[in-house]
């Protein structure tokens, strides 16, 4: 019986080329490539350290995301330095600053890092409120920038439509809501009445819009019966929860994250919310994995920002992830989150581009040479295969989500391996050079326009 249902869901997922369960990578035709043998650097490399600036949340409720990012960055730096540094010569030195200083404070700090400290590379940044302000400044200062997150579509749709120096490693934000929609439609095809609980700022708006848009195509006839927009940083959710209970929805989509999500699920649990509806989230497992307690209900679609969970891709199929999790655990005595993978991968992406550029031009490559190698770059990351599109400087990798479950061996809930949904990113995001907002359409993102115009609506069941 259960097996039949799984087969049915696999059929549903086929249209995206997506997979259910741990089979993942094999089905999408990806297998880890052999690690390239180290190539000898060409020309004279100075031994001056490479200075990196990294802004991330070190205080406030968002430290839950920023902390693992910092850990991932430091791990990559230590590993690269242990091999003698970049091109075997240049050690990496990082100065950190607190993103909680606010958007203006972050802009000032980036200027200071470049103008007074002379950083060679800028990384980090979690909030979607900050990357659209920092992106233009990075372009103006001509500082090579690899944003780890701050994944709003707006950054490369509008704020920096023709980026040169700025790149972003983690998946684009619209993919987050769409991934949650596909996850929800896969596991709960019968839901019709939808309630939404989103933080009241650009991220929550983006999740709600793309989730409802995609779910409407997948499950025609859905109806949004309630919207809640708590302010970011809310910890008392009882009134929101009671309101949601009052409209008796089949499904709640929740984009609240960080400390907010922990406070939310504790209250929702005692108010019986999880017994009365299915719950899909975009960031329930977005912070330190151990931040969520064993009391967290099972069977919740526990999002990881559509990026990475340390159980996936499974170690036997993607040894790079297994060894990353082991090294990370050894260093920090905790499991990595998607921010940890993003920050870790960002430094390795830089290393990859520097090495390739060095082979072409010799010596320490200038920024133009590194940028040329970053555009269109593809590397093996712990989360799977990552490629950087040349048209918008955005990193893409297959998205992933799954249902929460308490498994032996972990002090916190993880994903039920059989429930993991992995979706090829090309199936759910606008292709290269799709018109951006303002270029013949006024949707909020290129992705929204692309979904509206190209996705067929499923036949009503």
Residue ranges binding another protein (CB under 8 A): 58-64, 66-67, 100, 200, 227-231, 233-236, 238-240, 242-243, 245-246, 258-260, 262-263, 266-267, 270-272, 287-288, 290-291, 293, 295
Q: Residue 62 or residue 383: which is nearer to another protein going by CB? A: 62
State the Cα angle at 124 between 121 and 129, rounded to 5°: 120
- Residue 387's Cβ-side half-sphere holds a number of Cα atoms within 13 Å equal to 11
Cβ neighbours, 10 Å, residue 346:
31
Q: Residue 81 or residue 267: which is nearer to another protein going by CB? A: 267
Per-residue tokens: 79: 């590993």
Cβ neighbours, 10 Å, residue 104:
9
User: Please, what is the minimum distance in Å from the beta carbon of residue 335 to another protein?
Assistant: 12
Q: Residue 199 or residue 424: which is nearer to another protein going by CB? A: 199
- Residue 141's Cβ-side half-sphere holds a number of Cα atoms within 13 Å equal to 26
Q: Residue 48 or residue 290: which is nearer to another protein going by CB? A: 290
Q: Residue 343 or residue 381: which is nearer to another protein going by CB? A: 343
Q: Which residues of 23-60 are buried (b: 16+ CB within 10 A; e: fewer)?
A: bbbebbebeeeeeeeeeebeeebeeebbbbbbbbbbee
Q: Residue 148 or residue 186: which is nearer to another protein going by CB? A: 148
User: Please, what is the minimum distance in Å from the beta carbon of residue 348 to another protein?
Assistant: 24
User: Please, what is the minimum distance in Å from the beta carbon of residue 15 to another protein?
Assistant: 35
- Residue 34's Cβ-side half-sphere holds a number of Cα atoms within 13 Å equal to 3
Q: Residue 40 or residue 294: which is nearer to another protein going by CB? A: 294
Report the 3 state secondary structure along 209-242.
HHHHHHHHHHCCCCEEEEEECCCCCCCCCHHHHH
User: Please, what is the minimum distance in Å from the beta carbon of residue 263 to another protein?
Assistant: 4
User: Please, what is the minimum distance in Å from the beta carbon of residue 154 to another protein?
Assistant: 20
Pairwise CA distance, residues 54 & 427, whole Å: 32
User: Please, what is the minimum distance in Å from the beta carbon of residue 407 to another protein?
Assistant: 20
Task: Please report, for residues 50, 80, 83, 101, the alpha-carbon distance to residue 90 in angstroms, rounded to integers and kept in the order given.
Answer: 6, 10, 10, 31
User: Please, what is the minimum distance in Å from the beta carbon of residue 268 to another protein?
Assistant: 11
């Amino acid at each position: 019986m259960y097996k039949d249902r799984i087969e049915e869901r696999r059929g549903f997922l086929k249209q995206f080329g997506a997979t259910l369960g741990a089979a993942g990578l094999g089905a999408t035709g990806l297998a880890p490539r052999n690690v390239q043998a180290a190539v000898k650097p060409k020309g004279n490399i100075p031994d001056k350290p490479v200075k990196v600036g990294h802004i991330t949340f070190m205080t406030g409720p968002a430290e839950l995301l920023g902390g693992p990012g910092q850990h991932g960055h430091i791990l990559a730096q230590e590993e690269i330095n242990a091999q003698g540094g970049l091109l075997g010569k240049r050690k990496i030195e990082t100065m950190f600053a607190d993103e909680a200083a606010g958007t203006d404070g972050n802009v000032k700090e980036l200027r200071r890092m470049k103008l007074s400290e002379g950083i060679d590379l800028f990384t980090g940044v979690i909030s979607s409120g900050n990357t659209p302000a920092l992106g233009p400044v990075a372009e103006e200062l001509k500082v090579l920038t690899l944003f780890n997150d701050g994944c709003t579509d707006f950054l490369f749709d509008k704020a920096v439509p023709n980026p040169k120096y700025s790149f972003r490693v983690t998946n684009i934000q619209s993919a987050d809501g769409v991934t949650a929609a596909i996850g929800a439609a896969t596991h709960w095809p019968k839901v019709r009445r939808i309630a939404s609980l989103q933080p009241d700022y650009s991220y929550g708006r983006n999740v709600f819009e793309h989730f409802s848009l995609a779910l409407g195509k997948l499950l025609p006839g859905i109806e949004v019966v309630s919207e809640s927009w708590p302010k970011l940083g809310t910890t008392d959710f009882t009134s929101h929860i009671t309101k949601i209970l009052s409209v008796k929805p089949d499904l709640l989509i929740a984009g609240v994250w960080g400390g907010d999500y922990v406070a939310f699920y504790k209250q929702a649990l005692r108010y019986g919310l999880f017994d009365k509806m299915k719950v899909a989230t975009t960031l329930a497992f977005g912070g330190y994995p151990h931040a969520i307690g064993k009391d967290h209900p099972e069977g919740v679609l526990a999002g990881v920002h559509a990026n990475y969970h340390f159980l996936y891709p499974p170690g036997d199929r993607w040894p790079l992830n297994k060894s990353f999790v082991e090294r990370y655990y050894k260093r920090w005595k905790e499991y990595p989150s998607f921010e940890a993978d993003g920050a870790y991968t960002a430094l390795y992406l830089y290393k990859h581009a520097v090495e390739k550029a060095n082979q072409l031009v010799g010596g320490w490559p200038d920024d133009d040479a590194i940028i040329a190698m970053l555009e269109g770059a593809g590397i093996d990351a712990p989360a799977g295969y990552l490629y950087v599109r040349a048209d918008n400087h955005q990193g893409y990798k297959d998205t992933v989500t799954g249902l929460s479950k308490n498994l032996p061996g972990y002090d916190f809930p993880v994903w039920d391996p059989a429930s993991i949904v992995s979706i090829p990113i090309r199936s759910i995001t606008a292709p290269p050079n799709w018109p951006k907002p303002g270029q013949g359409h006024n949707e909020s993102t290129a992705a929204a326009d692309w979904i509206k115009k190209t996705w067929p609506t499923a036949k009503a069941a």
